[in-house]
Structure formats: C-alpha cells, structure tokens
A and B are shown apart, each in its own frame.
Chain A
C-alpha cells in the first residue's frame, strides 16, 4: 500500500508541475478554497468500515435507512400558507391533488410570536407570510376535508409550538383521529430563534421547559410525532457557512438532549423523535458532504456522549429546504436552475423530506404556477434524473469523502468550543454564535460586491429587466376579516370555561414540575385563543430581550 501511495504522490507531483503554466494563465481561478484535484491521498485516513460503512448502519454516513429511495422517495413536502385558514386550506388541497405527499404549514408572524390578529402589534402583518391562526376554530377550517389520519403535517412554529400542537391534536379528536395516529413535526427549536431567526417569546429557560414537556407528553401520547426539528436552515439563511450550519445546530441539539435528560427522561424514550432541518445551498458537492458529515457527527454524539442504546436514537433524519437566500430578484427564472441543483444536493445527500422554493420568492410569496414548477422539480429529479436510483451515489469520491471529513472536523472544533463556553444556551447568551454568523454574512456580501463571488444576473451577466408581473399579493382586507371572525368566535364560546382553563394553566406554569401540555390542550379545547394562552405564559415566564450588538 505505501508503495502505491508513493507512486500516486509522484504522479501527482508530476501532474502539478505539468499544469503549472496552464493554471498561471487564469489567475482569477487560482485562489479558490478547494484544491484543484483530489486523489486517494486525500482520504488515506478514512476507513470504510468505521467512517463510511453501509446505509442504515452506524455511523450512518451513507444514510439512515438501509434502502433509502429504493424503498420509497423522500416526502415531497411543500411549505405553504398565507392569508386566512380558508385560503390556505384550498392551497393544501391543491398540493395534495398535485401529488405532494405531506403538508407544511407556514404561519403568519403574529401567530409565530403568540399574538392574536386583533392585537395592535399585529397590524399590517396578519396573513402576510403565512396563515393567521387565532384559535381552534381557525385550525378546524385549515384542515377541513384533510384526513389527519392519512396526511403528515409539518408546522413551522417555535415559541408557541405547544399551543399549535395542542390545536392539531384537538382537530384530530374532532375528526375521530386518535393522537397516537397523528404524524408530523413541529419545528419547536427555540435556540436558533435567539441566534438567527428572531421569533422568540420567552427567555431560554422556560422555553427549554416547554420543549422538554412536549418531548415527554408526546413520548406517552403522540408517539409518531417528531417533537422538534432542530434547524440549521435559518442559521444558514442568516449567513453562516456550511460547517457553521451543522456545528451550531448540533450544539443546539446537544442542549435539548441535555435538558431532557436533566428533566428525568430516558434518552432512548425521546431521541428517536428528534429530527433535523437543513438548508441546500448552491455548492452541490459541498452540500452533499455536509449532509453526510452531519449524520456521522450526530451518531457519534448520541452513542458516545449520551450513551443511547437504540439505533433510532442515533440516526439523524432531516428535512431539507432549498436556500431562499440564494434566490435572486434579478432574472428570477434563473432560480429554477438554482433550485434544481439544490434539489440534486438534497437527494444525493439523503434527505427524508424536501421543500423546493419557487422562482419568485425573492420578490413575494410564490404564485400557484411557481409552486407547481418547484414541486415538478422534485418530481423530475425523483423520476427522471436517476439520482434516486442509487444510494449515496457520491460515496467514494475522493473529493466528497475529503470534504465530508473536513466539514466534520470544522464542525467538531466549533462544537468543542461551544462546550467549553458551557453549551449552546450560554454561547447564545454571550452573543458568540450570533457574532460568528454575522461575520460570515458580512464576508459573503463583501465577496459578492468585490466580484470574488459571482452571482449570475446580480454581479455578472446583468440585463435590463422589466418588472415581474403576476406576483401574489395578500389582500390587505385579511386583517379586518380575521378580526371579525375572532370577535364572532369569542361571542359564541363559553367564556367561563375559557377563564377556568387559563387560571389552571397559570397555576401549572408556576409549578416547574408540572407538564404544561395537558393544560394547554384543555385551554385550546375551550377555544381560548393563541394570544390568551401565550399571555398567561408571558405573565409567568417574562419575555426575552435580544442583544442589539453589531
């Protein structure tokens, strides 16, 4: 073997010498971060059995399921929601009829931050970036004629995740679907809200309690539910690099597992329902390496650090969304190509579910036509490209294996540093993670402005453009309609029952040992509103105040 290595090294040296002249003619391509060429020498420390192994086998580098897409395709889960529950219900039914296999609900900002549509702070925001949900009454409309026993639903909801989950359980009850049959995911990842996305409500400690309460409640009552989707997506959108995306996210994951163990839960009772959410950027090969590295790191964390016994606890299952921040407002049709490449990365990286962005999302919410192109992109990759025919097709590529190792190492360096700082919660409180992300975002912007990073249509190959026509607009009357609906609902409900449920919830909030989920579920069933429930928690827990350091 060492003879062979020497032979390769000698030939590599000869190759490098022979191309030196040619390379010198293109100085603009000389300083890329990657080597020009990768060879067996770059992966000589990689052991197939230990580091790569087989799909469905520790450390799951090649995928979490033994058969991956040879069994069935990933879930094509399109993220949608806008305006009212009625409008969003129509879009969901349209997507299901078009072949989407799972739903993914986008909520408007007042819902995400626990305010009712009639709150003064909600003015101008109701129904804009997602659907407005004030109470169980809206949730019933949202899932009208959609069988919760058959569809799986992902809800992008964090600070008030417990309330929306309770509403979903209650809608199921009304449809005659038992909680143990419900399938889906709540995002429920508060740490990345403080670090990157900004839709927090409460301070970290009570937020962590709500999360562990959900872990515990679901492990006993809603066993098929993914109780958290630990999200790197937003960390990347906020400007991080690929290595930072997985490092900061896995550090958050470690914090959740620690909190749950500290609350007395057995690691194998909840870890199998933890899921992840990654971004798919433009650099296809780097992204594939990122997905592979992330699986290997999580498997090691769960086995070596938390001593998980069940295989399921060690498997990093993830949803992917193509990178919204990589879409350009310029020449928006080019975004179709970007999304196709990102889709290829997610599929070759072994995602369990995927949302593809629409070409017009740097301009507005997507139109029905754009959403169709985005969904068709997934279907073309699945059925026509051949990428889904072979499991982990890039394994063994000198470059992809070397990149997987490199990203893993860079991520461990960050994870170890965050550990030394006392974990993700302290690192966020110190502003460390935010600062690292901001530095990367600023470097990216400066590279784009200097032309070191080419964005087609933005800093190269620009054209004169006509304004894009036919963008989706959310009717500004949505806010008024939603307020009226809320007032009508409040006039009809049993206000005494609401009051009693909220008093009971407040008492439970004050008792740290009590699981809040049953109390939230009771309140939701009386048609107490999201705002009323969150206000009770605000009163007891207080609100988080962010750093404004630059």
Chain B
C-alpha cells in the first residue's frame, strides 16, 4: 500500500486566529492525509523540529498578522538546513499579492489567500508532493 501523505499544519508567530488553519487541517484529513496540528505560537525552530520528528511530506503554514515576510522564509531555511529537501512547504492567510513573488523565491511552493477552496489545496499537495 502506498504511504499516506503526512502534513504538518503550523501557526508560526503570535497570531491566534486559527480558524483557517483548523478548517484546512480537517479538510486535508477528510481528503485522506495524515494531519498533525502544532497549535499556536510556534517559532520557526519549533516548526522545523516538529517536521523532522514527525517525518512529514508537507508543511502548511497560516499567518494573518503580517509577519509572513519574516517567518515563512525562516522556516524554509531551517527545514532545508535539517536536510529535509523534499518537504513541500506552503503558506496561507491574509497575504497581499505583492508579497507572494518574494515568498515563492524564498522557497514557499504556493501561497493560498482568502477565498481559496480547501479542495484546491488538496489538489496542489497531491500534484506536488514528492
């Protein structure tokens, strides 16, 4: 049997709005993925460590506070430093269009903004996870 895709849903930074993260987590689980949720206020170091310990294929982060330009790239950097080259890293939240090119350049595979269907996230993961 094929190994199920494992996803870490993470909330980096101090923002406590986790409606989006929890809805996405549940939709991913309903789509057949194994989902681990970190809870709030995770530092980039904690997220990278959890990804390593849990041996995940995907890290899906959510931020609404505007701290994404600082925190998203930092997670990518730490994850790659730990040798997890295949882990797919995606992000979402209140993220202005103008910020997206820089995030992609930093290694965020895709950024999902408000109004996204959870089905589109599922599809993206299935198509891009290695």
- Hey, which bits of chain A sit against chain B, CB under 8 A? 109-110, 112-113, 115, 121-125, 128-129, 193, 197-199, 237-239, 325, 328-330, 362-365, 438, 441-442, 445, 449, 455, 458, 467-468, 471, 473-474, 476, 546-548, 550
Contact = CB atoms under 8 A, between A and B. Distances in A.
B84 interface: no
A449 B115 contact: no
B43 A438 contact: no
A193 B16 contact: yes
Given A113-B14, A129-B15, A471 B118 contact: no
Contacts of B117: 449
A226 B39 CA distance: 32
11 contacts: A109-B15, A121-B41, A124-B70, A199-B16, A238-B19, A330-B115, A438-B23, A442-B22, A449-B117, A548-B38, A550-B22
B20 to A, nearest CB: 9
B49 to A, nearest CB: 15
Interface of B: 13-19, 22-23, 25-27, 29, 35, 37-41, 43, 65-67, 69-71, 94, 96-98, 113-115, 117-119
A550 B26 contact: yes
A119 to B, nearest CB: 10
Nearest to A445: B23
A354 B50 CA distance: 42
B108 to A, nearest CB: 15
B35 A123 contact: no
A362 B17 contact: no
A441 B19 contact: yes
A110 B117 CA distance: 31
A198 B119 contact: no
A201 to B, nearest CB: 11
Q: Which of B19, B27, B96, B113 has the most CB of A within 10 A?
A: B19
A329 B16 CA distance: 20
Contacts of A329: 94, 113-115
A458 B115 contact: yes
B16 A550 contact: no
B19 A198 contact: no
A445 B40 contact: no
A123 B114 CA distance: 25
Q: Is the contact region of chain A dominated by helix, strand, or loop, or is it mixed?
A: loop
Contacts of B35: 550
Given A328-B114, A364-B94, A125 B29 contact: no
Given A330-B115, A363-B94, A109 B13 contact: yes
Contacts of A365: 66
A197 B18 CA distance: 8
A40 to B, nearest CB: 40
A507 to B, nearest CB: 29
Contact of B14 (A121, A441, A445): A121
Nearest to A467: B97
Nearest to A330: B115
Q: Which of B14, B69, B117 has the most CB of A within 10 A?
A: B14
Contact of A550 (B15, B29, B65, B66): B29
Contacts of A109: 13-15, 65
Q: Which of A122, A128, A237 has the most CB of B within 10 A?
A: A128
A251 B114 CA distance: 31
Contacts of A364: 66, 94, 96
A442 B66 contact: no
A547 B40 CA distance: 10
Contacts of B29: 550
Given A362-B94, A550-B22, A198 B115 contact: no
B19 A325 contact: yes
A123 B66 CA distance: 12
Contacts of B115: 328-330, 455, 458
B15 A237 contact: no
A238 B118 CA distance: 17
Nearest to B15: A109
Q: Closest 4 A-B residue pairs measured CB to CB?
A: A198-B16, A124-B70, A109-B14, A548-B39
A438 B113 contact: no
Given A362-B94, A363-B96, A458-B115, A546 B40 contact: yes
A299 B98 CA distance: 50
A47 to B, nearest CB: 39
A362 B25 CA distance: 21
